[in-house]
Amino acid sequence: MMWDGLLVGVGGFFGAIARYCSSQWIAGRVSSRFPYGTLFVNLLGSFLLGFIIGGKWGTSIYLLFGTGFMGAFTTFSTFKVDSLQLAKQKEWRVLGLYLGISYLFGILFAFLGYTIGAWING
C-alpha cells in the first residue's frame, strides 16, 4: 500500500513538471486568447491515459503513469478557469471552440489511445 502511494507521488511529481513545461513552451510560441497550452496537455493526456488503460500494462504502471503522471499532467481545474475567463471576457466563439475541441477531441483521443494500447499489448 505504501509502495502504491509512492508510485502515484513520483508520477505526479514528474507529471506536474511536464505540464508546466509543456504549457509554458506552447504559451511562449503562441500569442492568443485561446488557451492552447491547456488544450494541448489535456488532449495529449487523454490519448496517453487511454493508451495506458487500453494496454493493460499492470497495476504499478497504471499507478505511476495513469494515476500519478496523467493525474498531474492533465488539468481539469485550469480548463474550467480558462473557460470561465473566456466567458467573463465575452469571448463566446473562442469559448465554444475551446469547449467543443476539448470534449470532442478529448474523447476521440482517449478512444484512439485505448485502441492503440489494446492493439499493441494484444
Task: Mark out the alpha helices in 1-122 (DSSP H runs).
Answer: 2-27, 36-55, 59-61, 70-73, 76-88, 92-121
78 annotated among ligand-binding-site residues = no
Return the closest-CA partner of residue 83 out of 106, 102, 107, 70.
102
Q: Where does residue 96 rank: exposed (0-12), middle (13-18), buried (19+ CB within 10 A)?
A: exposed
71 annotated among ligand-binding-site residues = yes
Q: Output the known binding site.
A: 71, 74
Q: Output the known binding site for Na(+).
A: 71, 74
